[in-house]
Structure 1
Amino acid sequence: MYESRGEELISRKRFAMRLLKHVLVALALVIFSLLLGILGYLWIEADAHWHDVTLNMAMIASGIGPIMLPQTVKGKIFLAVYGAYISVVFAAVLGVVVAPILHRVLHVFHLDDDDSKA
């Protein structure tokens, strides 16, 4: 997927496209996770309104915390599990977005090392 140490640095346009692909993958993962939380919460807490649940899941995903607390034990367990899951998703999304940037920076440093040896 990425160029190896001995290869040339890719153009800025190709790098921008690579970064865009990573951002789209991260966005898809976030949207999937939010939908999973919304549907799960609506299934467990049947009397909740979809717009309130959407706000609640977005606040949990952003790290602020729930706006409305669940009324059932199942709902409380679901929010606890979802909070742990969304923390892992946050770390994964951060890694997906930062990976091409970090790779390019490290690749530039390695290119400088190769030039000085020659």
Structure 2
Amino acid sequence: MTTEKMNMLDAFLNASMLLGGMGPVKTEGLSAEGKLFAGIYALYAGLVFIAVMSIMLAPVVHRIMHRLHWESVAEKE
């Protein structure tokens, strides 16, 4: 907000788009409601992507841990 002289809504939109991997956005011509929706949707989409990938990769990571014989400290005792 400070360095680019943006208002709070524009800064939120750009930050959420960057966190979601979509890049910066030109905010001219967008309504305040549209900016808010786009920012919240970008954050939601990023969280859903992380959740789905962690569910999909959990069996693969579990198999790798078994293959490398990784054990927890509680199992060794």
**Bigger RCO of structures 1 and 2 (CA < 8 A, at least 6 apart):** 1
Q: TM-score under structure 1 normalisation?
A: 0.34
TM-score with structure 2 length normalisation?
Answer: 0.49
Please state which structure has a larger fraction of its residues in helix: 1
